[in-house]
Amino acid sequence: MNNTFEQDNTIHFIFEKNFDQRTSDGQDLFDIPFKQILEKTINDPNIHALINKMTYRPLSAITDYLSNIAFLNKFLFKKLKKKIYVQILLNNQDEFAKLIASGREMDKTALRLMIINGRYWHEYFLQDLCSNDMLMYAAEFAKDDIYFYLKNQRNLVPNDQIFYRAVVGGSMPIIKDISETISISDKILETAFQTNNSEVIIHLVNDALTNELRVSQNLISYPIINGNIDLLHELDKLMTFNYHTELYFSALLSGSMKMVMYIEGKFHNIHENYVLDTTKSKREKGFSSILSDEMVYTKNGNNYFSHTLNYAIQSKSLTVIRYIISLGYGVSSSNVITAIKTGDVEIVWLIVEYYGKKLEKYFVYYFSMNSYIHNKFAVAKFLLDNDHIDLSVKKMNITGYRRETTHLNLITQSTQLMTDDNYDSDYLLKYKLFFPPFKGFNLNHLLLVKMRLYLELGRDQEIQNMMNQKWNVMESQHIIDSIYMFGDLNKIKKFSAFVPSAKIIMETLCYNQIGKFCFLLQKGTIDRYLENIYPMITLLQNPILNGVMNKKNIVMPCDLKFWVLSGNYQNIPTCAVDKDNIRELIATEDIEFIKKFDLTELVNEDVINWAIEADLLEIVPYLKSLII
């Protein structure tokens, strides 16, 4: 890491969007080790690749910028709000000590961050801060040295909740210590099985059996679904489990043919008459009739629910999927949707070919801005290129309308569980926020998804066909905005003679797509938007963009707030400071720069108290000198 730093607001802007999405708006900084956050944000090559694709910044420039210690200090301070928290995450004990010496105080959040991140700076483990919560964090994150220090030197006593967290953490020394005084509960035992930590599981099962505690038969599903066949063999030596046929679904989810065959060997004729897919009322309970119907396939005159193939698809193992198909299990439209959600083109190809029918129009909604499926455009390309999906607009009956509405609601209204391996740009960049419905209009989801797909996949003829149709004012604007947001400059020149929304223009400027802006300037069609765009141009401080504005002799008003927020304010023109922007000025903590402005009429006790609350203590003496 280096210390030289010039803020690049293009990289900064896109990275922060990604960071916020992948860390629950920064809350994860307080809840999980910083090392894990680094892996899924700052050091993640997929994030680097996305920024590179959006901005054409070299990958080396992106990685150098994000690893810069000055950037990290500034970025983390914005998220954490306190400088001592930042130095804990960065593992800089010397700088932390200086901040404490300057008047900052330890608090429970700082201690929690130390424990979660394994900073064994025990001189700061003050007695009045050391509650059982801290022992719980040490147990959960397997910080043995901190756990035993808190227990032995700060006299903290483990309890049931700490035992549970210790099992999550998986530290055997901590687990053994707690189990000497705390009894195992059903919840603790189940948690152990969920972690798939064989050593912990065997230890606790032995402990439970020694103390004649009941071990639930249902726990056997966890090593099966995790494909941990060695653990399964060890457990079979310790006690007798009653295997039942539904455990076969867990075996399928494991994606391991070895596990599938092991469980299959426990039963005779498990596939006879496709008993696994026979109707089970409890399994269908809570599903709408439409979604239930979509799970049905017919074989030999009998109706079945396509559970078995569905579980196989969820495993994402082509070997397992092909095996289930070879056994003759049927396929339904529900299986096709599950395949699409995997984001695996080979799996989609296999299932669609087996399904053998053209997909109805509603399937296309699974490629919309509201659907966060990894690799979805590659899947969509396969389906469209091979004419597997029917996008023609036809008059629908009541059932068709209900089916389309049901799936659309599922996609747009349900909460989607995101995993760390999902890099869908619609999720990371929140594109759907740029295409809201207009007052008095219903959002045309089909229009939006078709335009997006045609632009992403380079299907110019389909785009032209869309342009030739008659649309209402909202739909027309969304077409223009889609072309400008997702198309390149050639597409814009070819298809769009109109002006996109101001927010779309500003967003693409943040992506360093200045050619699009120059095209609009040259046409002279965005004069009415320029006043709204000036703050963003100031904030970006992009040399190329500034050069364009100068060449066009466009003089922007000086907005001190946005100059300061840009981080590149040394060449700021004459700007007025007032009560609305003084806090941004003070937040620079650049005392020489701040002294260029006359603040005597603006600084008061409220401003000073704000600076203290904002952890800007180094600037406070100067501010106080202005009101003495």
Tokens of 619: 């600037």
pLDDT exceeding 90 applies to what percent of the chain? 83
For 96, other C-beta atoms within 10 Å of its C-beta total 24
Tokens of 466: 């869309």
pLDDT at 414: 67
Q: CA geometry: angle at 118 spanning 114 and 124, to 5°?
A: 40
**Local confidence band at 281 (pLDDT 50, 70, 90 cut-offs):** very low
Query: What is the amino acid identity at position 186?
Result: D
Q: DSSP for 60-90?
A: HHHHHHHT-HHHHHHHHHHHHS-HHHHHHHT
pLDDT at 393: 76
482-517 pLDDT, tens digit each? 999 999 999 999 998 789 999 999 999 999 999 999
CA gyration radius, the chain? 30
More confident residue, 288 or 158: 158
Contact 445, 394 (CB under 8 A): no
Distance between CA atoms of residues 284 and 276, nearest Å = 14
Query: What is the amino acid identity at position 368?
Result: S
Contact 445, 365 (CB under 8 A): yes
pLDDT of 279 strictly over 80: no
**Local confidence band at 628 (pLDDT 50, 70, 90 cut-offs):** low
Tokens 């709204």 appear where? 532
For 46, other C-beta atoms within 10 Å of its C-beta total 15
Helices (H), 487-574: 489-495, 502-510, 514-523, 527-540, 543-551, 560-565
Widest distance between CA atoms in the chain: 93
The average pLDDT across 257-280 equals 91
What is the b/e burial string over 192-209, where b = at least 16 CB atoms within 10 angstroms of the residue's CB?
bbeebbbebbbbbbebbe
**Looking at residue 226, what DSSP letter applies?**
T
Q: CA geometry: angle at 570 spanning 568 and 575, to 5°?
A: 100
pLDDT of 290 strictly over 50: yes
- Does an H or E element contain 303, and which? strand 302-305
536-552 pLDDT, tens digit each? 999 999 999 999 999 88
**Local confidence band at 117 (pLDDT 50, 70, 90 cut-offs):** very high
pLDDT of 285 strictly over 60: no
Query: What is the amino acid identity at position 112?
Result: R
pLDDT at 103: 94
pLDDT at 30: 98
pLDDT at 575: 86
pLDDT at 342: 96
568-622 pLDDT, tens digit each? 887 788 888 999 999 999 999 999 999 999 999 999 999 999 999 999 999 999 9
The average pLDDT across 234-243 equals 91
The average pLDDT across 226-236 equals 95
pLDDT at 280: 56
Q: How far, in Å, are 486, 487, 516 from residue 491 at the CA level?
A: 9, 5, 10
What is the b/e burial string over 343-374, where b = at least 16 CB atoms within 10 angstroms of the residue's CB?
bbbebbbbbbebbeeebbbbbbbbbbbbbbbb
317-345 pLDDT, tens digit each? 999 999 999 999 999 999 999 999 999 99
The average pLDDT across 26-31 equals 98
Beta bridge partners of 296: 305
For 414, other C-beta atoms within 10 Å of its C-beta total 9
Q: Is 419 exposed, middle or buried (0-12, 13-18, 19+ CB in 10 A)?
A: exposed
Contact 184, 204 (CB under 8 A): yes
- Does an H or E element contain 319, and which? helix 318-326
Query: Residue 178: phi, psi to the nearest 5?
Result: -70, -40
567-583 pLDDT, tens digit each? 888 778 888 899 999 99
Q: DSSP for 573-590?
A: -S----TTTHHHHHTT--
Work out the mean pLDDT of the chain and round it to a whole number: 93
β 296-299/302-305 pair status: antiparallel
Q: Is 503 exposed, middle or buried (0-12, 13-18, 19+ CB in 10 A)?
A: middle
Q: DSSP for 277-342?
A: GS--HHHHTT--HHHHHTTEEEETTEEEE-HHHHHHHHTT-HHHHHHHHHTT----HHHHHHHHHH
pLDDT of 282 strictly over 80: no
pLDDT at 200: 98
The average pLDDT across 74-94 equals 98
pLDDT exceeding 70 applies to what percent of the chain? 97
pLDDT at 284: 44
Contact 352, 388 (CB under 8 A): yes
Contact 332, 294 (CB under 8 A): yes
The average pLDDT across 132-161 equals 97
Tokens of 584: 């941004």
508-567 pLDDT, tens digit each? 999 999 999 999 998 888 888 898 999 999 999 999 999 999 988 888 888 899 999 998
Distance between CA atoms of residues 82 and 103, nearest Å = 12
Q: DSSP for 365-386?
A: GGGSTT---TTHHHHHHHHHHT
pLDDT at 555: 86
| pTM (2 d.p.) | 0.92
Distance between CA atoms of residues 459 and 455, nearest Å = 7
pLDDT of 287 strictly over 60: no
pLDDT of 286 strictly over 80: no
